[in-house]
Structure 1
């Protein structure tokens, strides 16, 4: 079935159940009805198959079962579910409450903040109006006094003027919008601090309630009321547990007693006790919490309990944690909210608180406590059997899912307040044990030379050369050895000469011309005479 179609079918079923309950004179919230629908579908005894589409007969059967359970005023299980739904819708943790408070406050004063940051005042009247708006913003953000009370406005104006005079508005207007918003928040905190200081000094604080005095009266009264309710719930739980234990040992008594009703009443009281503890933690101071933890640790280490603890030698393959061997022992996230898993599974739903001093079993990165050593031994032999029995029991009594914190196994029934904690990593134990080690004084032999001296003159003194004689010894191979010398002469100019001299002469050419002067005749005759000697004649 597509998700949209499934949501439509569920809405129609819820609407029909609302009409049926209204016809019987009961006005029930849709949140409770939705929780009951999932609880009825989850119960295997009702025969619903979550893997197939619901037909018309299945829807009619589902509506009938839900209406029957919702109109059963004598059913403790219904009261437990109502209590769980109411607590889930109304209880808010401190960090979530502060976050929601700041969100609502920002939405309320957002318009005033925008009027201030978007203002473009120029004239004197506009600047005065802007300054009055800043005073109103400071009062609205602090929540200490009404902006319409003239005395409170005058006091806030004087406090603001001491840190932010009106002459600084020009500089304020030149800032960016983000810087303006940041400065407005800083001014609101500073002015609030000044007013609180003046009130403490008795010089002002108009319209500011004496919150410490109010809390001094209200917190002890609230704590006392919660303590009384917690004591009543614990006494009822002890009585119900004692009756169920006695009925388990007496067959005649168990036949006359409606054990399932008594167990559902026990679940109701235990859930009420858990919610009271959650509220009490937020109201008690740290000193009292520290004292309780101190008493708890002393209780853990009492001699009577130490004799009942688990012997780790009996289970070689399982890991057991004890207070003296685990640093963060009291911070471990115990399964089933600290109740004994074996007793709950073996007795078909009896809730008995576990005793961590016996030993905490670590199995598949989860931690389990037990009320006796025998219960711990029985569970450790085959943990999966008892874990499955607890899961099947929770399907039949859906209020156990929140009481025993089984949300990860039934993700469809996770309360809104715990949605963020589904993927939360468990705190891992920091185990510690006694250990000792011993080393020899000197593992390696010493390499210190006692006769070493760094001073040359000390070495001379020890040598005592003045009273010593030099001796020399030669062997057969060394007695012919002597010192050798070599000399190198510098280079000088040198020349060479052949045995005889020889030369050659070339005939010089001698050529003459005759008749150059000419003759009386006009015709000139030149005569060339070559007188050069032959080579062989020279």
Structure 2
């Protein structure tokens, strides 16, 4: 079956499944349904052949299996996939997020700006209305109070009156539209700086808290974003360690004391769910910590600028107006950057809160009491404890000369290498019923076909290194049976057909860590000396000068003379003889006379029988 036909069949099945789920009062996105359809088809236990066209019975079977997975009362696997899709569709880089924020603010202000620039101030009432719109524009752009708040509006009006009184409105309206828009933005920037300076002067005795000016929604995120993420991460990691301990216990106990197979599968799905949540929370926590550091720097910068501006505007001194306006603009710019960081923290806080509902299925499947009962005899170890226990084991490269190993002594940033499977041990996943254990790079990192693998123990490392391709293929087979592992283990290249990245059209770079290093290189201007004309001249005037010089040389002749006082003189003597005349004769004249023959023939014409007569009239030579 061609790819086009396959995609068309899948689209039809997805549409039918979405309608069926809606009919059963389950609202599911097409992205989730499409991913689930492809995952069911790729699962080898279901018996579908993706290279062959599906028959009608197979299509019905596919729909039934998909509905069973999509409409299950609680499914940690489905919640993990939903969580991954939500994060991929909503999480974005800081640059893109701030770009969206600025575009949204510009779109909100564009209508108000158009109303201001297109207005006419023919009457005093119209003038007051336009001036009021300018105040609203300034308040919305600065985010320092609401236009409906009387105090905020009064403060903004007082700041605006200092630089743009209402009497100058007619001159403003006579400007071209582009100039009016630029002037409007400039007024908003300067008035925001003035308001910030006034707020700082009101608290001369005490320390000025910048957080007081930030909107309430952003203020809450600014103060609690990192703590909220850390709390969620701590709870998720505790659950992950408990599920890991229970599954590890199941792999070590005998067959009689083991749990049922469906219970083990549910434990695996719950472990994958919390590990997925943990990975996303780590990304959010890293961003939140970076944002808070930037916020602290901006707050210190803002307070420093307020202090310097206060010294500049002392009554005893007279500062240039251009310098003061520039200071107000810098103050407003710092405030704008501070608001951007607060918006970003609020965004991270919202994503953290919205990720929590995707943990509901595993919480329903295993309550806290039930989970504690399963781990009675199991020792719960944190990831840090496991790494500390296995740090003493290190691979000796001499033991495995056929493989390339990176040891901690050879790689200074061994813990930051781009490891396969997001740092989890692939050997343990294959040989321990889908158990996920973090790999320890300090044991040794295997480099195979350009990929780096970390392992949870030395034994796992040596066993995996004995046949890395076979174990890598087994990991892919595990991911086919558990599709949430595609993203969790970063298997998008191996299983691109069902990868959620192809559905949401997100770039993988958003979730992969970028490694940077300083490097340099030096290249000679001319690496080889061939084809270099030493007499080449690019200057036209120099070429003209040389041409004139050659022309002058061709028309010149060198003359010299020798005098008695000349140095290196010499005497020349030449002897000649007169020409001698001589002659000789070698020519001899002689001659002879010969007879001239005269012979006539008669009777050539006439009768046939006539006789031809020959008459010789030649004379002897002496008779002539």
The bucket for the TM-score relative to the shorter chain is 0.5 to 0.7
- Identify the residue that residue 278 of structure 2 maps to in structure 1: 273
- Identify the residue that residue 34 of structure 1 maps to in structure 2: 34
Q: 1:111 to 1:59 in 2, by over 3 A?
A: same
Contact 2:428 2:435 in 1 (8 A): yes
Q: 1:208 to 1:360 in 2, by over 3 A?
A: closer
Is 1:226 matched with 2:214? no
Per the TM alignment, residue 351 of structure 1 is displaced from its structure 2 partner at its CA by 1.0
Contact 2:425 2:439 in 1 (8 A): yes
- Identify the residue that residue 244 of structure 1 maps to in structure 2: 250
Report 1:12-161 matches (<5 A). Answer: 12-118=12-118, 129-161=129-161
Contact 2:139 2:147 in 1 (8 A): yes
1:435-461 per-residue CA deviation (whole Å, 9 max, x = no partner) reads xxxxxxxxxxxxxxxxxxxxxxxxxxx
Report 1:494-533 matches (<5 A). Answer: none
Root-mean-square deviation over aligned CA pairs: 4.2
Is 1:338 matched with 2:338? no
Distance 1:156 1:81 in 2: 49
Q: 1:89 to 1:489 in 2, by over 3 A?
A: closer
Report 1:94-493 matches (<5 A). Answer: 94-118=94-118, 129-165=129-165, 180-202=180-202, 209=215, 214-215=220-221, 217-219=223-225, 222-223=228-229, 225-247=231-253, 250-254=254-258, 256=260, 258=262, 259-284=264-289, 307-316=392-401, 318-412=403-497, 413-415=499-501, 419-421=506-508
- TM-score normalised to structure 2 length: 0.58
Contact 1:159 1:194 in 2 (8 A): yes
Choose 330-339 or 125-134, whichever is displaced more: 125-134
Distance 2:430 2:421 in 1: 12
Contact 1:233 1:269 in 2 (8 A): yes
Choose 351-360 or 106-115, whichever is displaced more: 106-115
Per the TM alignment, residue 49 of structure 1 is displaced from its structure 2 partner at its CA by 3.1
Contact 1:237 1:270 in 2 (8 A): no
Q: 1:245 to 1:199 in 2, by over 3 A?
A: farther
Larger C-alpha radius of gyration, 1 or 2?
1
Distance 1:423 1:215 in 2: 23
- Identify the residue that residue 370 of structure 2 maps to in structure 1: none
Q: 1:126 to 1:25 in 2, by over 3 A?
A: closer
Q: 1:269 to 1:306 in 2, by over 3 A?
A: closer
Distance 1:242 1:425 in 2: 29
Contact 2:85 2:500 in 1 (8 A): no
1:104-142 per-residue CA deviation (whole Å, 9 max, x = no partner) reads 222222212233445576877666554433322222223
SS at match of 2:446: strand
Distance 2:291 2:151 in 1: 39
Structure 1: tracts of 5 or more residues without a match: 289-295, 433-487, 492-538
Contact 1:236 1:269 in 2 (8 A): no
Q: 1:118 to 1:489 in 2, by over 3 A?
A: closer
Contact 2:390 2:440 in 1 (8 A): no
Q: 1:346 to 1:2 in 2, by over 3 A?
A: closer
User: What is the aligned length?
Assistant: 426
Structure 2: tracts of 5 or more residues without a match: 294-381, 520-563, 570-624
SS at match of 2:405: strand
SS at match of 1:146: coil
- Identify the residue that residue 616 of structure 2 maps to in structure 1: none
Choose 275-284 or 207-216, whichever is displaced more: 207-216
Choose 309-318 or 371-380, whichever is displaced more: 309-318
Per the TM alignment, residue 223 of structure 1 is displaced from its structure 2 partner at its CA by 4.2
Compare relative contact order (CA 8 Å, sep 6+) and give the higher one, 1 or 2. 2
Per the TM alignment, residue 383 of structure 1 is displaced from its structure 2 partner at its CA by 1.6
Distance 1:81 1:25 in 2: 20
Q: 1:256 to 1:118 in 2, by over 3 A?
A: closer
Per the TM alignment, residue 162 of structure 1 is displaced from its structure 2 partner at its CA by 3.3
SS at match of 2:31: helix
Q: 1:317 to 1:156 in 2, by over 3 A?
A: farther
Q: 1:315 to 1:120 in 2, by over 3 A?
A: farther
Choose 409-418 or 172-181, whichever is displaced more: 172-181
Distance 1:99 1:431 in 2: 29
Q: 1:180 to 1:20 in 2, by over 3 A?
A: same
